Chain A
């Protein structure tokens, strides 16, 4: 599959996955970024904030085999990895029947991931790190592209720090903000019914991009990456060396998801997601604001905008959202329906004028503003 086609496929999958989710667009995109990079995601947030739903939708949109489980203190390893094959056990061999379990999943979601027992976490380490499942005499490669772990908070326990470090991408979510509660209720009600069909060729596109990411040329961007790390250290944010090296995989993934094979300054924004704490990410955004101002990404506009806060990424996200609102013009003349649509258009116009000076509008955003202004004019 050619690179542009793979990017378009993933972009379509992201649109399908995000549908109906409110304020979770960047989480969905961060999961896709990690999947292309061959890394894993840790989502920290209170219960009921769509952490598992975001992972589920990505898996569904891509058509990947999924495994999902809520871990507890008393969860047995066989609940995650599969039961011991009793037939083989009678022959004196400990083998695990993994059918339908995590070792056969392409996308996994583990809720309350830090509650797992030592036995579970030790086995998970091998699965996450090397994509190899080892238990008894069962040793098999796993097709896992990305594991999304969720927890209410980062672990205090030092002994869990090494396990937590396997999740390179960190996303912090909060309940939907007050201004968006009506949208949450509307979207949540609207998504009842059968889930959307997966995008054709989703997993193939993901694998194509992952392979391309491994070949991305990073030499030109390494000085900027090193400069970013030094700025972070000066601001008191120390990213462990192992994370620094792996951070390059996120940058490479961002490059291919923007349709290129040569990394540039536009691809540095995933650095923010590699900073382990919420407070650290906030400081990192401010510290690296100048370095990240050219951040943008064709397939992951929301994640790029959220990570960088940069104007180009912001403009791309507003453009995408604005065009979707324009395309959703109601067919009929029902006044209340039309009025609701025009309020949404006002929201788009407001977001543009509040966030962009007229002389700095990129061409696509300027064109969108003209269309929105025309649609809102009394003569329309």
Chain B
């Protein structure tokens, strides 16, 4: 068996952001920020969802993990987020806009597919140590955001 260690290197130019991820305390802050934003928007337009954003969240070893996708102008900002984009060489992966693995992306994507046995978009966070399938991503709502933040994801 041959083993290769995948290192992550700086990517220049960066990918265009179409998603965002947060882990741990930043994820909680992000959810609260989105909840506040949705409430403000729904006061202006009752029943509104957060425009084009959809997301998925769950608990893992480092804590709460949140991954959102949507149109670039709708992506939120709080401290501690990782913005994600798609490389044409591996379109089913959501990769950090500023980094890439130092192996050919098609091979990396194929290896991840084999390892995770999942279809749909796959977000790679924390140097590939956290993989999040976006198959079950859903549009955001205030109730879901609150439940996720308070631990009922």
Interface residues, chain A, with chain B CB atoms under 8 Å away: 178-180, 182, 289, 293, 309-311, 314, 336, 339, 346-347, 349-350, 353-357, 360, 373, 376
Contact = CB atoms under 8 A, between A and B. Distances in A.
A178 B44 contact: no
A182 B72 CA distance: 13
A195 B71 CA distance: 33
A378 B15 CA distance: 29
Interface string B78-117: 0101010100000000000110000000000000000000
Interface stretch (B6-14, B61-69, B134-142): B6-14
Given A354-B98, A355-B97, A373-B79, 15 more contacts: A180-B73, A182-B73, A293-B12, A309-B13, A311-B12, A346-B76, A347-B73, A350-B72, A350-B77, A353-B83, A354-B83, A354-B85, A355-B14, A356-B14, A357-B98
Contact of B17 (A346, A354, A356): A354
27 contacts: A179-B72, A179-B73, A180-B73, A289-B12, A289-B13, A293-B12, A309-B13, A311-B12, A311-B13, A314-B13, A336-B44, A349-B77, A350-B17, A350-B76, A353-B83, A354-B14, A354-B17, A354-B83, A354-B85, A354-B97, A354-B98, A355-B14, A355-B97, A355-B98, A356-B14, A357-B10, A373-B79
Interface residues of B, number: 19
A307 B97 CA distance: 20
Nearest to B73: A179
Interface in B10-46: 10, 12-14, 17, 40, 44
B83 A350 contact: yes
B48 interface: no
Nearest to A311: B12
B40 A339 contact: yes
B75 interface: yes
A67 B108 CA distance: 56
B83 A179 contact: no
Contacts, number: 46
B68 to A, nearest CB: 12
Contacts of B17: 350, 354
B77 A376 contact: yes
Contacts of A309: 13
Interface of B: 10, 12-14, 17, 40, 44, 71-73, 75-77, 79, 81, 83, 85, 97-98
Nearest to A348: B77
Contacts of B77: 346-347, 349-350, 353, 376
Nearest to A345: B77
A357 B81 CA distance: 12
Contacts of A180: 73
A142 B96 CA distance: 53
The 8 closest A-B pairs by CB, nearest first: A354-B83, A354-B17, A349-B77, A346-B77, A179-B73, A350-B77, A309-B13, A355-B14
A178 B72 CA distance: 10
Given A336-B44, A339-B40, A357-B98, A350 B75 contact: yes
Contacts of B40: 339
Contacts of B85: 354
A346 B10 CA distance: 24
A356 B99 CA distance: 10
A310 B14 CA distance: 10
Given A179-B72, A179-B73, A353 B81 contact: yes
Nearest to B13: A309
Contacts of B76: 346, 350
B31 to A, nearest CB: 15
Contacts of B13: 289, 309-311, 314
B19 to A, nearest CB: 10
A180 B72 CA distance: 10
Nearest to A357: B98
A314 B71 CA distance: 21
